[in-house]
Structure 1
């Protein structure tokens, strides 16, 4: 049903978040280790239903990647959840300015992650129908 793009450079967190998403019932989770791979994926014809994004990637910042998604035709309304160890108020504000719909600071529980993803998808669905 939902296609999720997960961009996280740390293999442990990438696997953990991928497992969380699959446990929530997402069958199609695309796990990528950096911003360049994400840009290449987004340039294809596939539009994700949700993007989970780390801020500190080795090549392109998560902020820049989020701004790119917002500027891309047909993707401006894709919900973006930033998942980051950077948990200062200015990090959250910068992510919001870049167009993120939600922010989850590490560490967090599987329940917190699932609840946040559910909220974002529900709010995106209600925006599409209104």
Structure 2
């Protein structure tokens, strides 16, 4: 899967971190990064006609938690197969377990390097493609 063809929905409440993560994704070659500051705006976007190829989702959002957004994605047939990469400063084993339980395909703890982001994005996309091909 070519990163240039992807649309990534980036959900992060910190303007500084959202800009940094958006730049990292664009540096990886992702052409279309859709940035949303909270869970509600992300869920509204997901109800629209555009479907992202990947969702990078912060766990701690000001309105709806990343867990709830992830569960919403998994319960919505049109987007249920969209891979979700949780990105969070919360690095406890239970945070990762809850993310997996909510349906996340991967977990990336902050802080991280651009290389770690690239590796995790590719892992999540590769696993997603493997699951969707018969």
TM range (shorter): over 0.9
1:124 Cα offset (Å): 1.1
What's the TM-score once normalised by structure 1's chain length?
Answer: 0.97
Task: Say what the alpha-carbon RMSD is for the aligned residues.
Answer: 0.7
Q: Distance in 2 between matches of 1:74 and 1:32?
A: 20
Deviations 1:64-100 (A, max 9, x none): 0000000011211111000000110111111110000
Q: Distance in 2 between matches of 1:95 and 1:129?
A: 24
5+ residue gaps, structure 2, are: none
**After superposition, where does 1:1-130 map in structure 2 within 5 Å?**
1-130=5-134
Q: Following TM superposition, where does structure 1 have runs of at least 4 consecutive aligned residues deviating by more than 3 angstroms?
A: none
Aligned length: 130
Q: Distance in 2 between matches of 1:74 and 1:41?
A: 13
5+ residue gaps, structure 1, are: none
Q: Distance in 1 between matches of 2:132 and 2:103?
A: 17
Q: Distance in 1 between matches of 2:6 and 2:58?
A: 20
1:58 Cα offset (Å): 0.4
